[in-house]
Structure 1
Amino acid sequence: MKKITLVIPVFNEALAIDKHLPIIVESLTHQPHIDWHILIVDDGSTDATVTTLQVLQPTYPHLSVLCLNRNFGKEAAIYAGLQHSRHADAVIVMDSDLQHPPELIPQMVQLWTQGLQVVEGYKVERGQETWFSRWLANSFYFIFSLLSNLELKNHSDFKLLDKTVVHTYCDLPERNRFFRGMVQWMGFTSAQLPFTVPARQHGTSTWSRLKLLKYSFTAIMAFSSTLLYLVTFLGVLSFCVGLLISGIALYKKFMGSAIGGFTTVILLIFFMSSILMIALGLIGVYIAKIYDEVKCRPHYLINWRKSTMQNQQHDDAL
C-alpha cells in the first residue's frame, strides 16, 4: 500500500480551517490502496488556528499538526512539511483555503502511479483577482522568465512530488527558497493539471502586496544574478553618455559657442548618481542574501509543545 502525505501550510486560518478540512478529507476517501496522512504546518499563527486544529484532530485520526515557533514564511512551512514527510512515497503540497481544488487529487495520484515524478496544478484562470493583481503577477512571471530562463507563468504550489523529488528538494542547502521555481529547476518528469482558481469562501488572504513584492524579489534573486550584470551594463552606458556629453562640451568650447550655465553638469551628475545608487542598492541586496546563507541558521524552529506527539514520533523515525 502506497503512503501519501498531504502537506498543508497554514497561517491565521482559524475562521476557515474547520470548514475546509472536511472537504479536503472527503477528496481522499475514494482512493483505494492509499494510506493517507495529513500534515498541517502552522506557520506561527497568532489566532486560534492551533486550538481549532486540536479540537478537530480526534475526528481525523490521520491528521498531525506541526507548529513553528513563529512566522517563518510559507516557504519555510513547506520545507518543514516536506522534511517531516520523507517516509511517504509521495507528498502533495496544497493550500488550505480550497483555492487549490481538492477534487484534482485523484487525477494527481493516477498520473503519479503511471510513473510521473511531479504533477502540478496549472492556473488557466486566476479567479476573482483585480486587474492590477493580474498585471503584477504577469509582470513578475515575465521578469522571472527573462532573467532565469525558467517558465513559471500560472504555475502554483499545488503539486504532487514523488519521494525522490522530496528527498532531492530537502537536500538542497540554500536558505532563500522559492518552492515552485526549485521544483521546476530540478527537471524531473512532470505533468500539469489545469484548474480555475475558485473564489475564497471563508476568511481572507494574509498576503499583502508588500509581502508579495518582497517574495518576488527573493524569488528572482535566488535564481538569477543577471541584475548584477545589468549594473555593469549601466556603468558602461553611463560612461558612454558621459563621454559623449564631454565631447560635445569640448567641441563647443573650442568653437567658441559654449553657453554658460550648469544645466548639463547638473543633469550629468543626477544621471550618474542615480545609476550609482541603484547599483549599490542591488549589490547590497545580493550581499544581504549571501549573508543570510553563510549564517546557516535553521529554516524554521518547531514548537513541540503545540505540535502533536505523532509528529515527534515521525521526526524520531527519520
Structure 2
Amino acid sequence: MKRTLYVVIPCYNEEEVLPETTRRLAGKMASLMERGLISVKSRVALVNDGSKDRTWELICACHRDNPLFCGIDLSKNRGHQNALLAGLMTVKEHADMVISMDADLQDDIDAMDEMVLKYLDGCDIVYGVRNKRKTDSFFKRVTAEGFYRVMNFLGANTVFNHADYRLMSRRALEGLESFGEVNLFLRGIVPMIGYRTDTVLYERSERFAGESKYPLKKMISFALEGITSLSVKPIRFITGLGFLVFLASLVMFVYILVRFFTGNTVTGWSSVAASVWLFGGLMLLALGVVGEYIGKIYLEVKHRPRFIVRSFLHDQEQEEQEKR
C-alpha cells in the first residue's frame, strides 16, 4: 500500500520565491508518485504566517490551479515555529508521513527521495543534515555552527547542522502533539520524541530569492528561546558562580582579618569600587537569567493557543474519500 506524504512549508512574505518553490515541488511530487513511493493523495501544504505581501494570494492561486497544493492561513503572524507546528497538526490526520521544509529552496528537495525510502524502511523521524555550507559567508558559517555548539553545551540537545528539514511519521506527529509548550523550539523537542531515527546528508544551497528571515539578531533570540525552553543549565551555572563567589568572599574575609590584627589595614576606594561593580553586575546577570525563566513560566501557565487557523484550502473530493 502506497503511503501518503504531505510537505509542510511555512511562508512569511515569500512572494518572490513561491512560484519557483511550487514549480520544483510539483515536479518532485510527480516524480515520487511515478516511482510508486508515495500515494497520489499526497499534497503540499503552504502555511501563510500572516504575510504582509501577496503570499496568500499566490497560495490560493496555486490551490485553484493544482489540487496538489493546499493552503493554511493563520489568523495572524505567529512566528516560524508556531506556523510550522500549525501545518503539521492540521495535516496530521490526512498523512502517513510529513516532510517539513522552508520556502527559500536552500534545503535540497532531492533529499526527499532518501527520506521517504528511510521511512519505508521503518524510520519514524528522518533529519535532513547539512554536510557543507559552501554558499554561506565565513561569518554566517561560524555563527551558525557556533549556534549549535552553544545550544548543546547549555543543555538544549539538538542535531548538529539540522534546522527544520525533516520527515516525521504520523506516530511521531502524535508524539509531538503531546508536548504542550507555548514556547516552541522544535529542533530540541523532536529529538525527545524517540522512536527510530536516521539522517540524510545534503548540500545547502543559496536562497533562491528574497531575504533571510534569520539575521544575527533573530538567531541570538532564537538560541535564547531554545536554551531557556529546554534546559536549566544557565541557572545551574549561576548557582555554581554564586558558590565560587561565596568561597572567594570567605578567603577575602580571612585576609581582611589578618591584615586588621597585624595592623596593616589600608583604606582605599579602588577595591571597594571594583567589588561593587563586580557583584552588581553578577546580580543583574543572575536576575536577568532568572527573569527569563519566570517569563517563560508566565507564558506557559496562561495556556494560550499557539496558533489559530483562519482557513484551510484542501481538496474536498479527497476529504470525502478519506471519510469513506
Task: Give SS of 1:288's match.
Answer: helix
Equivalent-residue separation in structure 2 for 1:104 and 1:27 (angstroms): 10
* Cα contact 1:127–1:199 (8 A) shared by 2: no
Whether the 8 Å CA contact 2:106–2:208 is kept in 1: the answer is no
Question: Corresponding residue for 2:313?
Answer: 308
Contact 1:242 1:268 in 2 (8 A): no
Letter in 2 for 1:113: L
Counterparts in 2 of 1:61-100, with a 5 A limit? 61-87=67-93, 88-100=95-107
Task: Look up the match of 1:2.
Answer: 3
| CA deviation after TM superposition for structure 1 residue 310, in Å | 4.8
Encode CA deviations 1:146-187: one digit per residue, 9 max, x unaligned: 232724211121111011001110121111111121111222
Asked if residue 144 in structure 1 is aligned to residue 145 in structure 2, the reply is no
Q: Which residue of 1 aligns with 2:31?
A: 30
Alpha-carbon shift at residue 243 of structure 1 (Å) = 2.0
C-alpha distance in 1 between matches for 2:256 and 2:274 = 13
Q: Percent identity?
A: 27
Unaligned ranges ≥5, structure 1: none
Amino acid at match of 1:161: M
Matched residues, number: 312
Cα deviation for residue 6 of structure 1 reads: 0.8
**Alignment correspondent of 2:58:** 52
- Provide the TM-score with structure 1 as the length reference: 0.93
Structure 2 Cα separation of the partners of residues 152 and 111 of structure 1: 17
Aligned alpha-carbon RMSD (Å): 1.8
Counterpart amino acid of 1:308?
L
- The aligned residue for residue 142 of structure 2 is 135
* Conserved 8 A contact 1:9-1:77: yes
Instruction: Indicate the larger mover: 286-295 or 27-36.
Output: 27-36
Cα deviation for residue 246 of structure 1 reads: 2.4
More divergent stretch after superposition (246-255 vs 41-50) = 246-255
| Structure 2: runs of 5+ lacking an equivalent | none
Match of 2:222 among 215, 219, 223: 215
Output one character per residue of 1:253-283: Cα deviation in whole Å (capped at 9) or x when no partner.
Answer: 2222222212111111211111111111111
Which segments of structure 1 move beyond 6 Å, counting only runs of 4 or more?
A: none
1:229-240 aligned at under 5 Å gives the runs 229-240=236-247
Take 2:310 and 2:156, find their aligned partners in 1: how far apart are those partners? 39
2:156, 2:230 within 8 Å by CA — same for their partners in 1? Answer: no
Q: If the length of structure 2 is used for normalisation, what is the TM-score?
A: 0.91
Match of 1:116 in 2: 123
Q: Which moved more, 1:238-247 or 1:20-29?
A: 238-247
Which residue, 176, 194, 201 being the options, matches 2:201?
194
For residues 180-201 of structure 1, the C-alpha deviation after alignment (integer angstroms, 9 at most, x for no partner) is: 2111122221111111101112
